[in-house]
Structures are given as C-alpha cells and as structure tokens.
C-alpha cells in the first residue's frame, strides 16, 4: 500500500480542487502541412533548416532561428530561457489583480486594524498629542505606532498563511498566491511577505521611504506586478472574481 498522502495545508501545494491553482498551459497542436519547427522532418518532407532554402517565415533558411516559431521576430529571443522562443510567463495563472483593488484592500485592512488599536492604546497610555514634540508625547506616539504595527503583522501573517486573503482582499475579490503553483502562501512565505511590508516602518525616516518604494513597485514591475514584499516571498496577487 502506498504511503503517499495528498498535499496538506502546509505542504505548499494547492489542493487539486483549488479553483485558483496554477494550471499548466495547454499542449500546442502540431503544425499542419509537414512543416517543422525543431529541425525534424515532418510528414510532408525533410527539414529545410540549415539548407539555405525558405524557412517558416519566408526568409532564407540556415539562420539561428530558421524553422522556429516567431523566426526573425524579437520574440524568438527568449528572456525566460528555453529552446523554442519566449513562453508566456503568465500561462496557467489566474488573472493578475487590478492595482486599484489592491490599494483599496490595503486601505480597508489599515482601517480595520489601525482605528480600534489606536483607540485602545490611547485609552491605555493616555490620549496622544500628535502635534507635540515633547519626549513624553513622542514616547506615547512610538508605543502606539509599534503596537499597531505588531498587531497588523500578526493579522496579515495569520490571514495569508490560512487562506491567502485578508478581510480587505476578500472584499476586493483578490488573493495572494505562490508564483510557482498558485498555492496559498502557507508557513514561511506568508510571514515573510507580511514582515517585509510591515516591519521596515519601525526604522525612523528611511523606513517610510522603503515602505513607499515597496508599495509603488508594482506599478512598474513586469510581468507579475509584484511589490518588493511579493518578490521576497515569491508571491503574486491574483483576482478571484
């Protein structure tokens, strides 16, 4: 009897019935008419690759991409590695989440955590005067901010490792998924993502600059629209709608 067990929640692999599991791309249909793309003879005759004849694009054969799909086009140079031209790096993945929905989800989570924690901490340490620069008020501000960040870190880490979504992400119908296979970022990956997003703010001045660059990074990142905390955890944010 086999001792293999189906993948569990902590295995890093999505269950077979996960609707957001990253699917393998469909197999390509063989070309018709006996043409070749890999230098092997087809049903209609021998390969023309390297013979000086016409290739699949109508140019002269014998070139480095002769007989290849997209021969002579910039897509023949594969930046992702591989032998037969650039494969779609998003193949099999659910649609990437809209950046606007990601921003709104963050705002929702910040309100859910920030407002009640700040109110509770102000009741505990005394109402904080955020306009004052006295040592007493500065200490209160640091205490309230530190506790708020710690609670947010625990909230995000626990939610992401459990289901890949915070309350804000559920409301916006988006989800964090492992780039490799679409699984929930259970265990270390979810906590790394939460920590890289939250903890740099502890560092005065430069912490805020890092946080700002981090959250804006997805606006120019290609092709996965990752923020720096996504890159650290090897995750992407996808749509569930």
Q: Who's near 221: CB < 8 A, 6+ residues apart? A: 227
pLDDT tens track, the chain, 241 positions:
444 555 555 555 666 666 566 666 666 555 554 444 444 444 444 444 444 444 444 444 444 433 333 333 333 344 444 444 456 677 788 899 999 999 999 999 999 999 999 999 999 998 888 888 899 998 999 999 999 999 999 999 999 999 999 999 999 999 999 999 899 999 999 999 999 999 998 887 788 899 999 999 999 999 999 999 999 999 999 999 8
Would you say 61 and 67 are in contact if contact means Cβ atoms under 8 Å apart?
yes
Q: Provide the 8-state DSSP code for 218.
A: G
Q: What share of the chain is helix, strand, coil (3-state, %, to 5)?
A: 40, 5, 50
- The token pair at 62 is 């014998």
Residue 148, pLDDT score: 94
Domain parsing of the chain, residue ranges: 63-88, 99-239
What is the pTM assigned to this prediction?
0.66
Residue 82, pLDDT score: 44
Rounded to whole angstroms, the Cα distance separating 167 from 163 reads: 11
Rounded to whole angstroms, the Cα distance separating 162 from 183 reads: 11
Residue 60, pLDDT score: 44
Report the run of H or E that residue 235 belongs to, with start and end: strand 235-239
Residue 57, pLDDT score: 43
């Amino acid at each position: 009897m086999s001792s293999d067990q189906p993948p569990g929640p902590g295995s890093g692999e999505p269950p077979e019935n996960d609707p957001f599991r990253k699917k393998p791309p469909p197999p390509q249909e063989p070309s018709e008419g006996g043409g070749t793309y890999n230098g092997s003879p087809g049903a209609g005759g021998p390969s023309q690759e390297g013979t000086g004849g016409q290739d699949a694009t109508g140019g002269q054969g014998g070139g480095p991409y002769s007989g290849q799909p997209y021969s002579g086009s910039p897509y023949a140079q594969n930046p992702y590695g591989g032998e037969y031209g650039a494969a779609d790096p998003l193949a099999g993945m659910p649609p990437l989440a809209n950046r606007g929905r990601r921003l709104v989800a963050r705002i929702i989570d910040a309100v859910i955590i920030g407002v009640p924690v700040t109110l509770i901490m102000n009741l505990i340490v005394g109402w904080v005067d955020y306009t004052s620069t006295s040592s007493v008020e500065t200490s209160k501000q640091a205490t309230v901010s530190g506790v708020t960040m710690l609670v947010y870190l625990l909230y995000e880490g626990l939610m992401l490792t459990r289901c890949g979504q915070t309350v804000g992400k559920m409301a916006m119908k988006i989800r964090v998924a492992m780039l490799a296979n679409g699984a929930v970022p259970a265990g270390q990956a979810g906590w790394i993502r939460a920590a890289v997003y939250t903890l740099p703010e502890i560092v005065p001045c430069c912490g805020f600059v890092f946080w700002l660059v981090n959250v804006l990074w997805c606006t120019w990142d290609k092709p996965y629209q990752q923020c720096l905390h996504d890159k650290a955890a090897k995750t992407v944010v996808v749509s569930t709608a």
